[in-house]
Amino acid sequence: MNYKLSEFIKNIPTKQKRHEMTAHQSEKLKGNHGGLRPNSGRKRCLPTKQVSICNEIALLTKKISEQYKTSSETKRKLIIKYLEQLSS
């Protein structure tokens, strides 16, 4: 094993020591890429569930879902009430 590489491996901080590092030291260790960024990742929205439906009603179901997502709480309740009556 190369001497410089073994010295580098010995000097890698443990998780316990990383929180004590300065921002500059931490940046040198991890490089300039990656890491947690504010407001990154998937945005929170309504909970979803995957279902299988017939192709004939897929487009209509998608339109209803999009309408529901953009509606007010009052209109959402009306949509649910109407669908419940339809399914009875």
pLDDT for the residue 26: 56
pLDDT digits (tens, 9 = 90+) for 23-64: 655 555 555 566 667 777 777 788 888 999 999 999 999 999
Q: Is the pLDDT of residue 1 over 70?
A: no
Q: What does the mean pLDDT of the chain come to?
A: 77
Contact 82, 64 (CB under 8 A): no
Q: Is the pLDDT of residue 2 over 70?
A: no
Predicted model pTM? 0.48
More confident residue, 80 or 8: 80
pLDDT for the residue 66: 92
For Cα atoms 31, 36, 40, give the angle at the middle one, nearest 5 degrees: 130
**Cβ-proximal residues to 79 (8 Å cutoff; 6+ apart), any chain:** 64, 67, 68, 71
DSSP 29-70: HH-SS-S--TT-SPPP-S--------HHHHHHHHHHHHHHHH
